[in-house]
Amino acid sequence: MSARIVHPADFAEPGAPLAELPGHVSSGRLERVLRRGEFAVTAELSPPDSADPQDVYNRAAAFDGWVDSINATDGSGANCHMSSVAICALLTRVGYSPILQISCRDHNRIAIQGNVLGAAAMGVCNVLCLTGDGVQSGDHPEAKPVFDLDSISLLAVIKRMRDEQRFLSGRRITSPPRLFLGAAENPFAPPCDFRPLRLAKKVEAGAQFIQTQYCFDVPMLRDFMAKVREMGLDRQCFILAGVGPLPSARTARWMRANVPGVHIPDSVIARLEGAADQRAEGKRLCIDIIREVREIPGIAGVHVMAYRQEEYVAEIVHDSGILEGRAPWRRDLNGPSAPPG
């Protein structure tokens, strides 16, 4: 890795204001929060099946004051929705801090590099690099998959654009995209011994933050993190544990059977089944998991994926106490828009 990650302990002034600090590659809020050693919170925005920008703003408003950055998914599950780059454009217009997600399934290297420049020009500071779900898992199984790049080569391409000011072709970029680079990881997918090694490859390729698949099995995450610490990876990237409320035992069973890479232990399903109000129990379970993962050394934050339950994110973040009185940015509907970041 050429760009050294500077950790909070490296800062002489832990109480410094949220200004850009040495070692930053972006001017974004997520990077600032993580480098200051604060427990970061990100949340996934379900993209609308609509051309109305207000649908995006309504969904983002549910996170106001509770999250440090909003993930705009890119054809998640290989289903068609409003694009990630368009959602990021809308969000940066009014000052939100989005994470552009790029799946390699639908675009080749020419389209992706163009979108990266365009997104950065609109104020996007964070990118999550994904290989992406295969077309067979979505609503257009007859679509032609691209996969010109994968998550690791994508990280390397954007890192080169940022640090060397070059496209993959070698052609010079006059003003480079200043992006905080992320990737996904699944500590719960077999073969589990392989997951920290794949993480190491992503870090070597340029990943500075990681968002994991849903964690419903804290002991498995602990084992993964023990290996990650042994390899020193927690000192080279910020790891945010994926969490989310399960609305019912039925949904949990469905997710376990149909969403690739999601692992839900029987004990979790039994806990939901035994509850009088399964939705409320799903929220409590999510809060319990957040509190447990927060204690795992090397976990730098949580990524809340509350699919079709975005209205619960504020309550979950509040009740889990992870912000410890800190108030992330919120949209001021009466005042001028904050600069994007």
Ligand X SMILES: Cc1cc2nc3c(=O)[nH]c(=O)nc-3n(C[C@H](O)[C@H](O)[C@H](O)COP(=O)(O)OP(=O)(O)OC[C@H]3O[C@@H](n4cnc5c(N)ncnc54)[C@H](O)[C@@H]3O)c2cc1C
Binding-site member from 31, 38, 68, 74 for ligand X (CB under 6 A): 74
Q: Are strands 69-72 and 98-103 parallel, antiparallel or unpaired?
A: parallel
| Biggest CA pair distance of the chain | 62
Binding-site member from 213, 236, 309, 320 for ligand X (CB under 6 A): 213
Binding-site member from 68, 133, 234, 310 for ligand X (CB under 6 A): 133
Q: Indicate the residue among 192 and 275 with the shorter CB distance to ligand X.
A: 192
Binding-site member from 86, 173, 189, 226 for ligand X (CB under 6 A): 189
Q: Indicate the residue among 293 and 331 with the shorter CB distance to ligand X.
A: 293
Cα separations in angstroms, 24 against 6, 21, 73, 180, 325: 8, 6, 24, 8, 25
CA 232 – CA 55 distance, rounded (Å)? 42
Our finding on whether 132 is near ligand X (CB under 6 A) is: yes
CA 194 – CA 282 distance, rounded (Å)? 30
Binding-site member from 92, 131, 236, 309 for ligand X (CB under 6 A): 131
241-270 binders of ligand X (CB under 6 A): 242, 260-261
Q: Which residue has the tokens 């927690």?
A: 234
Nearest alpha carbon to residue 207 among 154, 171, 161: 154
Our finding on whether 73 is near ligand X (CB under 6 A) is: yes
Binding-site member from 26, 42, 46, 76 for ligand X (CB under 6 A): 76
| Signed CA dihedral, 264, 68, 38, 318: sign only | negative
CB of 199 to ligand X, least distance (A): 9
Nearest alpha carbon to residue 226 among 187, 263, 191: 187
Q: CB atoms < 10 A from the CB of 177, how many?
A: 21
Our finding on whether 151 is near ligand X (CB under 6 A) is: yes
95-124 binders of ligand X (CB under 6 A): 101, 103, 105
**CB of 309 closer than 8 Å to CB of 245:** yes
Binding-site member from 130, 233, 293, 296 for ligand X (CB under 6 A): 130
Binding-site member from 75, 187, 206, 282 for ligand X (CB under 6 A): 75
**CB of 48 closer than 8 Å to CB of 80:** no
Please give the size of the binding site for ligand X, defined by CB under 6 A.
24
Q: CB atoms < 10 A from the CB of 86, how many?
A: 15
Our finding on whether 46 is near ligand X (CB under 6 A) is: no
Interface ranges with ligand X (CB under 6 A): 73-76, 78, 101, 103, 105, 130-133, 150-151, 183-184, 186, 189, 198, 211, 213, 242, 260-261
